[in-house]
Amino acid sequence: MEKIYIHEVGPRDGLQVEKRVVPLAEKVSWIEGVCAAGIDIIQLGSFVNPEKVPQMVDTDSLFRYFMKNKPSGVTLSGLVLNEKGLERGMNCGVEMFCFGVSASETHSLKNTGMTTSEALRRTIPMAKEAIAAGKKVQASIQSAFGCGYEGPIDPQKVLDIVEEYLNAGICIISLADTAGHAQPQQVEGLFGTIRGLDSSVELACHFHNTYGLGLANCYAALKSSVTYFESSFGGLGGCPFTKLPAGNVSTEDLVHSLQRMGLRKDIKLDVLISVASEVGRFFDRELPGFILKSGSIVDFRGGNG
C-alpha cells in the first residue's frame, strides 16, 4: 500500500466557523502538538479577508513562525482563493498551496462570489504559477458529492473539473464533501473513475460528518487508492457558506481507525488526543470526536490494545 498522508486542517477549516477568536499563542501551542504527533501536512490557515473570516487574521504570522519552528518532515499548507492570497502565501513561506472550485453553482456563488466556470478560470492560472515556483499544489472540487442547496451533483460536472486540473499539470486532486452528502459506494465510484482518467494522479479526500458517514467514506476512499486524508482535531469545522455546516472527520478518530488496521502506527495518538482536549477546554464544550470521549482501544505504541 502507498504511504497514507494525514493533512490536519483544524487550524483553518476547524476554526473558521468558530465565533470565539483563538489567540496566536494558543494556535501555536495546538499546532506544535500536531507536529509532535507526527502529522504529515498541517493547513495553518487561509489567505482571506480577516473581516469576513476573523479567525484567519494571523495566517501570515503562523507561517512565518512555523517556517522556522517545525520538524523537517512536516509540510505547511495554506488555502488560497485569489491572486492577492497567492502573493501573500508566496511571501510568507507556504510549502503546499491548496486551491478549490465548487461543483455546485449555488455554493460557489456564496463561497467566492463567482460561478464554477469563473472560479475555474481564475484558479488554474494561480495553480500553474505556484507549480512554476516549485511549490506543491493540491486542487480540490468542493461539493463533489452533493450540495445542501442543490442536492445531488452530476458526477460528470466533477469529472470535467478534474480534466481541467489534469490538463493544467496539477497532480494532487481532492474531492471535498462540503455538505456531508457522500456515501461509501459513491466515493468508491467517483474516485475509481478519476483513477481511470490518469493512473498517476494522487488522490485526496475531505469528508464532513454531517450525516455520520465521515469515517465510512474515508475507508471507501482508502480502498480506492486515495492517499491524502484531510481531518480536523476534535472533529471541529464546517464551511460557513454551506446550508448546514458540520464538523470534519476527527483526526484522532481517523488515526485510531488506521492504527486498528495496522496503518500509520508512527503517529502518536495520545498526543493528538491531548491536543483535541486542549481545544475542547478552550471552547468550553464537548467536541464531536469520538475517541476524545471514549478513549482509545489501540496501544499508543501502535497496534491493538
Contact assessment for residue 295 and residue 276, using Cβ atoms and an 8 Å cutoff: no
Distance between CA atoms of 2 and 189, rounded to whole angstroms? 20
Burial (CB count within 10 angstroms: exposed 0-12, middle 13-18, buried 19+), residue 89: buried
Contacts of 72 (CB under 8 A, 6+ apart): none
Strand 5-8 and strand 228-231: pairing? Answer: parallel
Catalytically annotated residue among 35, 92, 205, 239 = 239
Enter the DSSP assignment of 207.
E
- DSSP letters spanning 93-124: T-SEEEEEEES-HHHHHHHHSS-HHHHHHHHH
Contact assessment for residue 138 and residue 97, using Cβ atoms and an 8 Å cutoff: yes
Distance between CA atoms of 25 and 164, rounded to whole angstroms? 40
92 is catalytic: no
Exposure pattern of 250-277 as b/e (b: 16+ CB <10 Å)?
bbbbbbbbbbeeebbbebbbebbbbbbb
Distance between CA atoms of 282 and 271, rounded to whole angstroms? 17
Distance between CA atoms of 117 and 99, rounded to whole angstroms? 14
Catalytic residues: 239
